[in-house]
Structures are given as C-alpha cells and as structure tokens.
Structure 1
Amino acid sequence: MTTDSKNQGSDPPGPDQDVNPAYLAMHSDPRFLALKRSLYSFIFPMSIAFLAWYLLYVLMSAFGRDFMGTVLFGSTNVALVFGVLQFVSTFGIAILYTRYARKKLDAQATELRDELVKGDARQKNQEGTR
C-alpha cells in the first residue's frame, strides 16, 4: 500500500489532500440525492423489519420457552424453525436487495459515476497541460 499524497483509485481523500470540486458538487446534485433516497427507502425499512424479526426470535427464546419448545413434527420444534427462518430471511433480504438495486439503483449510480470519472479525467488533463 502506498502512502503518497495523491489520491489513487476510489479511496476517499484524507484531511490533508485537496478534494476535487466535482466530488463536492456531486453531493448536492439532485440526481445523487434522489439515488441516496432510493437506497435509504429500501435499507431503513428492511433493516427495521429484520431487527424486529430477530428481536422477536430472541425474546421468544428467552420468555416464550413453552411456545418455542412446541414440537411440530419428529424432533423439530418451533425454536428450530424460527432459527432456520432467520437464515432464510437473511438470504431473502439479500436477494431482494440485489433485485432492487438492479432495477432502481445501478443504472443511475453508473451514470453518475461515469460522469464524475470523466469530469475528473478532464480536470487532470487540464492540470497536466498547464
């Protein structure tokens, strides 16, 4: 890993480095703000729902032992089914997010990134010709 003062790749600039004005402008661009809103409109509700589901599992395991110990079939009880459903819901959320991102986020994010990279390349070319 290099420690030179130039910002390379997509690493965020450190406090002692100059920030490209295009990056600052992008943070106030309405398209970028709309992209963030779209992202947050999925992330926050889904996170709250998953945490509530997980909290239910934990609380039921702690205080609803009789219910969680109910045998459903063979040696499978409600607690085991709840535990397996935790994994299923985690993978389900990942799949839902992938579909959501492909449908609503990726195209716009790629467009904004390409615009930012092209602007950055132009600025570096202008600085190089000075």
Structure 2
Amino acid sequence: MSTDTPAPTRATPDRYVAVQRSDEFAGLRKALRGFVFPMTAAFFLWYALYVILSAYARGFMGTKLIGNINVALVFGLLQFVSTFVIAWLYSRYADRNLDPPADRLRAELEGTGSVAGGAAPRQTGPDEAEQQEKQDKEVGR
C-alpha cells in the first residue's frame, strides 16, 4: 500500500526531552490544563448537584413540568447535553489554542519545520483549508 505523504523522520530521545523542556511545550501544557481542569470541576459539580437533588430533594425533582416529564428527567437529559457541549467547546478550544503550537512542536521534532518559522503544512480537507486560510489572514501571515 502506498501513501502520498513521506514517512516522518525519527526523532532521537534527546530531541523529545528538549521539546518537553521548551517554553512552548510548557505553554501548551498550561493551555490544556487551563481548559480541562476547570471544565472537569464544573461538570463534576453539575453532576453532583443532580445526584444530591435526586437523593435529598425528591419533591422538587418529582415536580411534573409537562405531562409525565418531571424535573429529574430534564436534569438527566441535560447531563447528556452538557457532555456534548463540553466536547464541542473542547474541539473549538483545541483548534484555536492547542493545535497550532502542537503542530509547530511536531514539525520541529520531525525536522520538517521550526518553532520560530511556524508550522509545517499539513494535509487538510477542503473545509479545513478554507478555515486555515481565514485564520492566516486574521493573523496576517
């Protein structure tokens, strides 16, 4: 089976350590944690509220809203909705704040670019290419 993209060059373990110690990698890790930790705490508190209300506020949770639909059912369904919203928010956050520096670090590690020179071109679909062009124009590249 043939591929259109060349095989990446092998990075030595020393290069991995150098990238791990770089300021850009530290910033990438901080950006990831800056989203993941607060969002995890918020979701945990939201879920805990649902469980606590189900256990100790049965009257409130059993309040019928429309027909046989009660507050507990709505809260339960909102757990699913909030999970999808968090996944969508993370995807947007990663596209804007995590992927560009990660791509630059990967390019540097593979020897196909440099951190200072920006990210190496990557294979993109039509929608991604248009979005990348729009971002490049906003940044002034």
TM score, norm. by length of structure 1: 0.75
Which of 69, 75, 83 matches 1:90?
Answer: 83
AA at the equivalent of 1:32: F
**Residue among 61, 64, 76 paired with 2:57:** 64
Say whether residues 1:47 and 2:44 are aligned partners: no
For 1:28, the equivalent position in structure 2 comes to 21
Amino acid at match of 1:77: N
Deviation string 1:23-56 (CA, Å, 9 cap, x unpaired) is: 1111110000001101100000000000000000
> Identity of aligned pairs, percent?
52
How far residue 113 of structure 1 moved from its aligned partner, in angstroms, is 0.8
Amino acid at match of 2:32: L
1:38 aligned residue: 31
Amino acid at match of 1:75: N
> Is there any run of 5+ residues in structure 2 with no aligned partner, and where?
1-7, 113-141
Greater length-normalized contact order (CA 8 Å, ≥ 6 residues apart): 1
SS at match of 1:72: strand
Q: Where do 4+ consecutive residues of structure 1 move more than 6 Å?
A: none
Give the paired residue count. 102
Q: Does 1:101 align with 2:105?
A: no
TM-score computed with the length of structure 2 as normaliser: 0.70
Say which of 111, 122, 130 aligns to 1:118. Answer: 111
Q: Distance in 2 between matches of 1:51 and 1:27?
A: 30
Counterpart AA for 2:26: L
* Per-residue Cα deviation, 1:47-99 (whole angstroms, up to 9, x for no partner): 00000000000111111111000001111000000000000000000000000
Coordinate RMSD, CA, aligned: 1.4
The unaligned stretches of length 5 or more in structure 1 are 1-8, 10-18, 120-130
